[in-house]
């Protein structure tokens, strides 16, 4: 089974502007609350992947849990213009903790 789908990018303007050039659907937001609504809306429009900058995601990180166990969409944090906040990595770490019960990959 395969179907056509789309890719979206959500984030602050100065971070996501460039993604337009490669054909992603870019949603510029100024307020993270907006981003939450956009994600909910994109979910109903069967988007496959939603990239979101960590700066935008940080205040609304609970949306990750909301869509975590669904096959689609994949919500993937990417660093924003101001650099990485480690949110994306901690997300990977979280799934390790969930599966193994302890963090065995990232101890440092």
Binding site for other proteins (CB under 8 A): 1-7, 14-15, 17-24, 48-49, 51, 68-69, 71-72, 74, 76, 78-79, 81, 83-84, 88-89, 91-92, 95-96, 98-101, 105-106
E strand or H helix at 36:
helix 32-44
Between 35 and 87, CB nearer to other proteins = 87
Alpha carbon distance, N-terminus to C-terminus of the chain = 42
Nearer to other proteins, 33 or 70 (CB): 70
Q: Closest separation between CB of residue 44 and other proteins, Å? A: 16
Bridge partners (DSSP) of residue 27 are: 10
To other proteins, the closest distance from the beta carbon of 32 in angstroms equals 20
SS3 state at 58: helix
30 SS3 class: coil
């Amino acid at each position: 089974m395969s179907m056509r789908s789309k890719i979206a990018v959500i984030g602050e303007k100065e971070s996501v502007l460039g993604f337009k050039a490669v054909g992603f659907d870019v949603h510029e937001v100024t307020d993270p609350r907006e981003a939450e609504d956009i994600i909910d809306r994109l979910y109903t429009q069967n988007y496959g992947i939603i990239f979101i900058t960590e700066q935008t995601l940080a205040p609304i990180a609970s949306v990750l849990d909301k869509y975590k166990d669904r096959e689609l969409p994949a919500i993937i944090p990417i660093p924003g213009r101001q650099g990485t906040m480690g949110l994306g990595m901690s997300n990977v770490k979280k799934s390790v903790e969930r599966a193994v019960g302890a963090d065995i990959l990232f101890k440092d």
